[in-house]
Amino acid sequence: MTFQNQSLSVLPVTVAFFLTSFCLGELGDGLSIFQGIYLVGLGWHESSVGVALGFMSFTCLIIQPWAGDWLDRTTIDRRLILVAVSLVTAVTACSVLLVPPGNKDHLLVFISKMIDGISAAFFEPCLAALTLACFGPNHFDSIMASNLLFAHLGAVVVAIVAGFVAYFVYPHVKYCFLVLCFAALASFFFIQFLPEGDHELGRGFAGKVALDTDNHLENTMNPEEWQEVKKARSSDGTNEAARYRDVLSDKRTVLLSLSGFFFHFANANVLLVLGELMGGDTSSGAPKRTSIPMIASAVVIAQSVMVGATYAADVLTQRGVGRKPLFMVGLLSLPIRCALILWLKDAGPFFLLATEILDGIGFGLICIIHPFLVADITFGSGRFNLVMGFTAATFGLGATLSNLLGQWSAQVMGYEASLLASLVISFFPLLIFSFMPETLGGRTPLNDFIHPPEKEIEAPYRSFT
């Protein structure tokens, strides 16, 4: 096996990852928030909006474990999968343009959100798998942090542009969704520069070489370690993944799943309620002209702070700060945020907007530490994408229940009761995650799992171009 110390793409691989993440940054919760506020403006009841968003979350959480497991086992190029789900998301982003005014035509939105949920199930595990396949365990944290940083920057830019479009074309605010559609389509150009990487390394198996942050090949372990890894392969020379039961029942997987479930159960409804508090109604009952721009401002503030939180987490991680304290800080931001919104609910929209700083801190830290933890837990098992999908599904289950029950409680008992419930629930993940052991430094090539045989892997690092 030879190791070539040279760049492997016309566009540097790291830059291609960052720009792809930039384009895809707003195609998740941000899209749903925009659609939710718009549907309320059309005359939909808050509970109907909650059901629509719940369809997406519920579909996503059902599909995600299977999607992760399938991404581990399939031989299909993961870049093609990323292109496909980006195209589907672009189409569903525009489907809301066909919804007429009034609380009707629910079926169109429900179906589009279900399709959106299926495509969303592949986004996070697919991009994480490509990153791990290309850069291996040594540089995964750094590149993944930069991916998320650019995703947040992309969300900021798209939210600003969408907010301006909604304001200047008012009352035809639906055309702001074309901005999100264009962002999804723009990602196609940059995906072609992503390498396929080592497919088995992307599953969480140990590998011999990977790219460094300068886009050159390097050894991921010394020759002695590699010889030991080769001895651990199965007798027929094939890779043998860990049993599903072993990785899914691992204490760390369970604690991460439960913590994420309760965090999102408390958190997902908060931005919707915040947007409805800030949007208000005109004397005719229609949404104010500033409703979409205000929620865009909330997204911009949160995503801007997420950029800083992601960068800080990356720097602190490189300096040896563990996963647990950073994740705990992210969890702690939610009860503080809920309490501040309750306190400032009558103080005006600009005070309410300021609480999104805490949303940026909390969500930013949890988003970046989540894949770090999964990579730590599963390295060597061949089940990285499965656990990414499973944990993301539990997070999505919390978000689904939050959208359904939170919007129902907002309609029946008022916004204050909905926020108070989120405040109480937000303490649960803090208690649960306090039992989580520290996982930093756990990605050693030799552990309790089976490792792959030696094979030539330089070729897959070449991009489409």
Q: Do residues 135 and 211 lie in contact, with contact meaning Cβ atoms separated by under 8 Å? A: yes
Is the Cα torsion angle 295, 298, 300, 303 positive or negative in sign? Answer: negative
Report the candidate in 37, 83, 92, 17 with the shortest Cα–Cα distance to residue 60. Answer: 92
- 64: its two tokens: 């995600």
pLDDT in tens, 127-142: 889 999 999 888 899 8
pLDDT value, residue 289: 54
As a whole number of angstroms, the distance between CA 210 and CA 212 comes to: 7
Burial class (CB in 10 A: 0-12, 13-18, 19+), 441: exposed
Distance of CA 184 to the CA centre of its chain: 15
Q: Give the mean pLDDT of 394-402.
A: 84
Residue 218, strand partner residues: 210
As a whole number of angstroms, the distance between CA 422 and CA 383 comes to: 33
Which comes out higher in pLDDT, residue 432 or 220?
432
454, pLDDT greater than 50: no
pLDDT in tens, 197-244: 888 888 878 777 788 777 777 777 666 666 666 665 555 545 677 888
First to last CA, the chain: 24
| Domain range summary for the chain, segments of one domain joined by + | 13-461
**CATH number, span 13-461:** 1.20.1250.20
Report the candidate in 193, 166, 208 with the shortest Cα–Cα distance to residue 41. Answer: 166
pLDDT in tens, 33-85: 667 767 777 777 767 777 777 777 778 888 888 999 999 888 888 999 998 98
- How many H helices and E strands in the chain? 16, 2
The label of the residue with tokens 């798209």 reads 158
**pLDDT-derived band at 409, boundaries 50, 70, 90:** confident
Which comes out higher in pLDDT, residue 297 or 236?
297
**pLDDT-derived band at 7, boundaries 50, 70, 90:** very low
Q: Do residues 83 and 90 lie in contact, with contact meaning Cβ atoms separated by under 8 Å? A: no
Collect all residues with Cβ–Cβ distance below 8 Å to 83 and sequence separation of at least 6.
188, 191
pLDDT in tens, 232-282: 555 554 567 788 888 898 999 999 999 999 999 988 778 777 766 665 544
The label of the residue with tokens 């991460």 reads 256
Task: Characterise 237 by phi-psi region: left (phi > 0), alpha (psi -120 to 50), beta (else).
Answer: left
pLDDT value, residue 433: 96
Burial class (CB in 10 A: 0-12, 13-18, 19+), 116: buried
415-425 and 323-344 helices, crossing angle to 10°:
160
- 55: its two tokens: 């369809």
